[in-house]
Chains A and B, each alone.
Chain A
Amino acid sequence: MQDIICTFCGSVCDDGEYDLEKRKVKKFCKLGSSKFAEKERIKAPMIDGKEVSYEEAIEKAVEILVNAKKPLLYGWASTANEAIRVGVILAEKLGGVYDQCASVCHAPGTLAMIEEGLPGATLGSVKNRADVVIFWGSNPMEAHPRHGTRYSISAKGLLVKDRKQRKIIVVDVRPTKTAKIADMFVQIKPGYDYAIISALRAIISGNADVVPNEVGGVPKEKLVELAEIMKKAKYGAIFYGLGVTQSRGRDRNIENAIKLVQLLNRTTRWVIWPMRGHYNVVGAGEVPAWEVGYQYAIDFSRGYARFSPAEFSAVEVLLRKDCDAALIVASDPVAHFPKMAVKHLKQIPVIQIDPFPNMTTLIAKVVIPSAVYGIEAEGTVYRMDCVPLRVKKILETNYWTDEKILEEILKRVEKLRG
């Protein structure tokens, strides 16, 4: 089967080939291929570790959710839009909290967008036009292995024909794999992205004289050099990652970078975009935005959406013990959340919907296994640049899709709630 779409990272490569006989996918990177390889699955729905039917597990889940004063519905980044939409409507109906994985990775980008907007482009624009690409706090060679060949480093574009016509710059706190293949590497002191970006803005807008000899571990001359490259670019792109969103400065780092890009657009063309991690974390934010107005950290206790990351991000909700039940869909908070947050998660009834067992499965009271989107189920996902792609069903399965499970839950909740 041709044109297979990968459901691992935010690159969502769509040029895969699936060999139905060998049951293997070709052309994808190691990360993508691992997604398509045979893996351990949750065999059947379970309540308290005992196998039950889908219907029984769903009934129990509904009972838990409807009796909760504040259920947390979290995850969503590794499932399709069709399921996410039902999840959002379910959270609204339950009067609970909807939050998604971005709250622990790229939410700062959303906060920055609220402050300044987002001057961006699709990956195809970068592929065709960008003669300068900066990876800031991002290491695609490890986290998004084919991003470079498909879109940003050696991709063959219309105006920028190949690697030689592109200048690749890495700004990071240590020499990464990507830094090693870059044309220029700027090593910065951890925690000083914000100051360095302010310095670049000052240099570019003609106030270089105010900037001291060294900012954030970078000598002024290097900053001036970087500023010159940026000014001379015909079309530049900054791709940023968790290096800046999850380190000191967070949303203000991105906001500052956006202001830098605004400034550059007065004399040349620049765009900036986040290197999203999960294959549909963008969908996990876009779907609630059109359904209820916001991308994450949404509370429905009052019967309508309220947005407050400081209060309603899953970690914040758990740290304040502000939830008494949780529905975790396509995610593993037990593995990734801070200890104190996980502590509360262990004390409340947890329902998990996921194809694969993980650390969260171990503490879940109700476990409902689902089909894998992109292999066993068709669905719509949004690539890191919000380009929509329809992942395919390649193999048959008896597992229910996330969408079907959530619809059955929603149906029963609507019946109880009226």
Chain B
Amino acid sequence: MLWIKNGIVVDPKNKINAEKMDIFVKNGKIVAESDVKKEDCKIIDASGKLVVAGGVDMHAHIAGSKINTGRTMRPEEMRVVRNIAGKFRATLGRVLLTAPAIGYEYAKMGYTTSFEAAQPPIGALHTHEELDSIPMIDKGALPVFGNWHLVFKCIEEKNLEKLKALVAWAIERTKGFGVKVVNPGGVEAWMYGGNVKSLDDQVPGFNVTPREIITWLIRANEELGLPHSVHLHCNNLGVPGNYQTTIESIKLANGFRNPKRQVLHVTHVQFNAYAGSSWRDAASGAAEIAKVVNSMDNVTIDMGAAIFGHATAMTGDAPFQFSLHKLIGARWSNKDTEVETGAGIVPIGYLPSNPVHSLQWAIGLELGLLVDSNKVVLTTDYPNGGPFTEYPYVMAMLMSKKMREGELKKVHQYVQKTTTLPSIDTEKTLYEVIHMTRSLPAKVLGLENKGHLGVGADADIAIYNLNPLETDFSNEFEKVYKSFKTAEYTIKGGEIITKNGELVKEVFGKTFWVDARKKVDLEVIMPDIKEYFNYYSVQLGNYGVEERWLKNPSRLEVV
């Protein structure tokens, strides 16, 4: 039992805005004061300190074949030593990290949940092996659907029941959490050396368009009532002028409604918010996108902010990765995957002296500032935009115009004319930023017991050495940044796991997965699946992950 005393709590889900409050923990959950025996409690004196829920990273690339290929390709990334083996594991990594490093670094920062953003279905077991090797955090994975032949078939036949059954079957087989869509249709086009350029391009070999893929999957997802919405990486990522594709894609949510959450989450929008016609006249389309997102009440986004320094571009958007390789001449890995999907990896970096990188940096921040705080989640699309360990940099920047002014002096002046960042006066409040890093991502994912400190929530808590009532967030940005980099205490499931950046205890979290099989009749799709498995390279009987192979599975049943 834990008694966190006199902390200053910010808990947006429960509308608590910097109130001095005690938090009680029992059996890994947050409980009411009446449920604990105070004499038996371990007391943490949080006087004058900020107490919030553990951070929730709803989009990061932390486990699976493409992450491991990234590590293998980049020994120069792995040569940074973070922890020497002793009571805890040795950990290595600069921006790319080993699995133990991922767990420890999230924990030190006060983050307690992270979701792998793109899981190739046939590689699901590999994703889960890596997730199981990440200590400290709770996790989940999102299998990709946007280029799966079986999905195309259901849509061609205009058969929603089949599509629903397929989605339920696939999420169970991959022990996944939701429906991820990456460059719908484009990765299949890449198998022929091409890509799709608009929502109405026909996918080669199939009578479907990206528009249909997205819309039908939203329909299936909503009728199934999955906890999370369709999670979309738009077409034309990385292409100047793509902000229009993004806006068109966002508008596909029109007509759908869900009382609990958004019906469409568009991810790492920074990479999809470029105006202009080439890299020579590229500019920001963030303001236009923000306007559209703010006008809708059923769409959320995450930033995908770029951080100056090293990074690695790794996504399921295989054609984009190849164009990036051609553009910057960097090393390139690719993995066409069965009839399901693809992936690509290219080492990159962001330099403040580079006009394009500066533009990307500015756009990420624009999105965080211009979009309503209940619609934009803070991410860097780790490791594409940069390290997740720099979320505190983004947090501090969102809350301080002065900090932004200082940074703007150090970057390429190209951003002055091509983005609105220099003129944005908005300083988000701490309440908003905590919402963007805790309660909102939990809500977007559909995780009811995460991202807040109400009774019944998982006891994932972060205590920071920062007094919100006495801190001038506009001016004390250095202090704000430092405080959020290293939590004074990180508590996971009621156990103290880090203190002042030092590891205290190693725990292993849960892997959430969604079981929606009761909502469908699997027989509707099994004949198609069996037929299609002629074109797989494994037997249907050997496809998928059994729950007992996972270390700590947590099944969320959809009824």
Do A and B pair up? The answer is yes
Interface residues, chain A, CB within 8 Å of chain B? 2-3, 5, 14-15, 81, 85, 89, 92-93, 95, 110, 113-125, 127-129, 150-151, 156-159, 234-235, 262, 265-269, 271, 285-287, 289-295, 300, 302-305, 307, 380, 382, 386-390, 418
* A117, B73: Cβ atoms closer than 8 Å: yes
Answer whether A122 and B71 are a contact pair too, CB < 8 Å, given A5-B542, A92-B85, A292-B98. Answer: no
* A120, B334: Cβ atoms closer than 8 Å: yes
Least CB distance, A353 to chain B, in whole angstroms: 21
Answer whether A290 and B122 are a contact pair too, CB < 8 Å, given A121-B335, A300-B85. Answer: no
B549 / chain A contacts, CB cutoff of 8 Å:
380, 390
B325 / chain A contacts, CB cutoff of 8 Å:
117, 262
* A323–B56 alpha-carbon span in the complex (Å): 45
Least CB distance, B548 to chain A, in whole angstroms: 10
Least CB distance, B341 to chain A, in whole angstroms: 10
* B78, A293: Cβ atoms closer than 8 Å: yes
* B191, A114: Cβ atoms closer than 8 Å: no
Q: Of A120, A123, A303, which one neighbours B90 at CB under 8 angstroms?
A: A303
Can you identify 28 A-B contacts, CB atoms within 8 angstroms? Answer: A3-B539, A114-B75, A115-B331, A116-B331, A117-B331, A117-B345, A118-B333, A118-B334, A122-B335, A124-B537, A125-B337, A125-B339, A128-B338, A159-B205, A286-B68, A287-B129, A290-B71, A292-B90, A293-B75, A293-B78, A300-B85, A303-B90, A305-B92, A380-B125, A386-B65, A386-B126, A390-B542, A390-B546
Q: Is B28 an interface residue (CB 8 A)?
A: no
**Nearest 9 Cβ contacts at the A-B interface:** A293-B78, A124-B338, A124-B537, A121-B336, A3-B541, A388-B125, A303-B84, A117-B331, A304-B90
A129 / chain B contacts, CB cutoff of 8 Å:
191, 336
* A305–B78 alpha-carbon span in the complex (Å): 9
* A271, B336: Cβ atoms closer than 8 Å: yes
B67 / chain A contacts, CB cutoff of 8 Å:
290
In B44-103, the 8 Å CB interface with A consists of 63, 65, 67-69, 71-75, 78, 81, 83-87, 89-93, 98-100
**Residue in B63, B93, B541 with the greatest tally of chain A CB atoms within 10 Å:** B541
A235 / chain B contacts, CB cutoff of 8 Å:
191-192
What residue in chain A is nearest B81 (Cβ atoms)?
A304
Q: Is B259 an interface residue (CB 8 A)?
A: no
What residue in chain A is nearest B122 (Cβ atoms)?
A387
Answer whether A122 and B90 are a contact pair too, CB < 8 Å, given A266-B326, A267-B193, A305-B78. Answer: no
Q: Of B83, B91, B537, which one neighbours A122 at CB under 8 angstroms?
A: B537
* A388, B78: Cβ atoms closer than 8 Å: no
* A304, B84: Cβ atoms closer than 8 Å: yes
* A295, B85: Cβ atoms closer than 8 Å: no
* B126, A286: Cβ atoms closer than 8 Å: yes
Least CB distance, A406 to chain B, in whole angstroms: 16
Least CB distance, A407 to chain B, in whole angstroms: 14
**Residue in B67, B85, B332 with the greatest tally of chain A CB atoms within 10 Å:** B85
* A294–B345 alpha-carbon span in the complex (Å): 17
B335 / chain A contacts, CB cutoff of 8 Å:
120-122, 386
Q: Is B133 an interface residue (CB 8 A)?
A: yes
Q: Is B346 an interface residue (CB 8 A)?
A: yes
B542 / chain A contacts, CB cutoff of 8 Å:
3, 5, 14, 389-390
Answer whether A14 and B333 are a contact pair too, CB < 8 Å, given A117-B73, A129-B191, A304-B92. Answer: no
* A289, B338: Cβ atoms closer than 8 Å: no
* A128–B205 alpha-carbon span in the complex (Å): 13
11 further contact pairs, Cβ within 8 A, besides A290-B68, A294-B72? A114-B74, A122-B122, A124-B338, A125-B339, A150-B537, A151-B537, A235-B192, A265-B193, A269-B192, A294-B71, A389-B125
What residue in chain A is nearest B75 (Cβ atoms)?
A307
A122 / chain B contacts, CB cutoff of 8 Å:
122, 335-338, 537
* B336, A290: Cβ atoms closer than 8 Å: no
A158 / chain B contacts, CB cutoff of 8 Å:
149, 339, 535
In B138-157, the 8 Å CB interface with A consists of 149
B279 / chain A contacts, CB cutoff of 8 Å:
none
Least CB distance, A52 to chain B, in whole angstroms: 30
* A85–B74 alpha-carbon span in the complex (Å): 21
Q: Of A89, A285, A300, which one neighbours B72 at CB under 8 angstroms?
A: A285
Q: Is B423 an interface residue (CB 8 A)?
A: no
* A107–B535 alpha-carbon span in the complex (Å): 31
* A303, B86: Cβ atoms closer than 8 Å: yes
* A14–B543 alpha-carbon span in the complex (Å): 10
* A389–B537 alpha-carbon span in the complex (Å): 11
What residue in chain A is nearest B97 (Cβ atoms)?
A293
B539 / chain A contacts, CB cutoff of 8 Å:
2-3, 14-15
* A119, B129: Cβ atoms closer than 8 Å: no
Q: Of B63, B90, B124, B191, which one neighbours A92 at CB under 8 angstroms?
A: B90
**Residue in A2, A268, A303 with the greatest tally of chain B CB atoms within 10 Å:** A303
* A410–B269 alpha-carbon span in the complex (Å): 46
The contact string, 1 if C-beta is below 8 Å from chain A, for chain B 302-328, is 000000000000000000001001100
A159 / chain B contacts, CB cutoff of 8 Å:
205
Q: Is B34 an interface residue (CB 8 A)?
A: no
A95 / chain B contacts, CB cutoff of 8 Å:
85
* A115–B90 alpha-carbon span in the complex (Å): 26
A89 / chain B contacts, CB cutoff of 8 Å:
89
Least CB distance, B77 to chain A, in whole angstroms: 8
B85 / chain A contacts, CB cutoff of 8 Å:
92-93, 95, 300, 303-304
Q: Is B392 an interface residue (CB 8 A)?
A: no
* A271–B100 alpha-carbon span in the complex (Å): 32
Least CB distance, A134 to chain B, in whole angstroms: 17
What residue in chain A is nearest B549 (Cβ atoms)?
A390
